[in-house]
A = this chain, B = another copy of it.
Amino acid sequence: MKNLEQNLNTFTAETVETSYIEADGIRFAYRTFGKPSDVPLVFCQRFRGTIDDWDPALINELARERTIILFDNAGIGLSSGETPESFFGTAKYAYAFIRALGLKQVDLLGFSMGGYIAQIVALEHPDLVRRLILAGTGGGTGEGTEAGKPEVFQVAFKPVNVAEDFLYLFFEQTETSRAAGLAYLERLARRKESRAPLVKPESVQAQIKGAGAWRTISTFDRLGEIKQPVLVANGNHDIMIPTVNSYIISQRIPNAQLIIYPDSGHGFLFQYPEMFAEHVNIFLNKNLK
């Protein structure tokens, strides 16, 4: 993997250079650093998120124990190509990217829509995925699931999202949670070099179409087939993908641990970066079964 050796243990989320690799006709942008580990941790990003939207506080903490790989999928941020109108198509590109790096086994952390992508990759390529972390996500529509309210998606789908939108969508409407949200947004601004552009309107529209299709064809009926140990995590008041969905997928996946955080929403992982990193490390390091 290009640049891997020199990046490990030297760089942080704020300073690591952006690398590129070709696969399936896409030039994928990625960043890798952290402690050398046999199994790297690959991150699958949310709706409208780019390689720059991962919290450096979380990523740097996780990088102390393992190799981190962040990337932009097809048509997003610094990567070329078109964003598929189906999450199954996006998952194919995620797989192609990972395989292009020459990796035979990875841990996957998927956040929100990225959690859907990670589930698909784990189901389609069970030998590739060692363990799975599903943050702020569900498994599609099924018994007991709840959808976010229309007014939430009106904000999420706005042409341009401002800071107040993020505080509303990702954090609890308490002083503590909103303050954590502002601190997160400030941390995101720390990186100066080779920043990704905002996700372009046609890619946002493709992702919205993907979300529509996901309501009828998702992983929900296949959750029982996920053989990997899984950590499901969410805030206790997620308005994007309501928290009960995380409880439900943790009950349907055979080997799943669930952690729900207080006073938080969809963006709990950026509100409690150190604690979530500790929980992730315990999960990835321990033999659960």
Contact = CB atoms under 8 A, between A and B. Distances in A.
Interface of A: 176, 229, 236, 243, 247, 250-251, 254-263, 274-275, 278-279, 282, 286, 288-289
Contacts of A278: 282
24 contacts: A229-B262, A236-B250, A236-B251, A236-B256, A236-B258, A243-B251, A247-B247, A247-B260, A250-B260, A255-B262, A256-B262, A257-B259, A257-B260, A257-B261, A258-B260, A259-B259, A259-B260, A262-B288, A262-B289, A263-B288, A274-B286, A278-B282, A279-B279, A279-B282
Contacts of A260: 247, 250, 257-259
Copies of this subunit: 2
B275 A286 contact: yes
A256 B263 CA distance: 8
Nearest to A283: B275
Nearest to A275: B286
Contacts of A236: 250-251, 256, 258
Contacts of A274: 286
A289 B251 CA distance: 28
Contacts of A257: 259-262
A282 B289 contact: no
Nearest to A255: B262
Nearest to A231: B262
A261 B257 CA distance: 5
A254 B176 CA distance: 13
A275 to B, nearest CB: 6
Contacts of A256: 236, 262
A256 B260 CA distance: 8
Nearest to A250: B260
A268 to B, nearest CB: 10
Contacts of A286: 274-275
A278 B281 CA distance: 11
A237 to B, nearest CB: 9
Given A259-B260, A275-B282, 14 more contacts: A236-B250, A247-B247, A250-B260, A257-B259, A257-B260, A257-B261, A258-B258, A258-B260, A259-B259, A262-B289, A263-B289, A274-B286, A275-B286, A279-B282
Nearest to A230: B262
Contacts of A243: 251
A78 B250 CA distance: 40
Nearest to A263: B289
A67 B229 CA distance: 33
Contacts of A261: 257
Nearest to A278: B282
Contacts of A259: 257-260
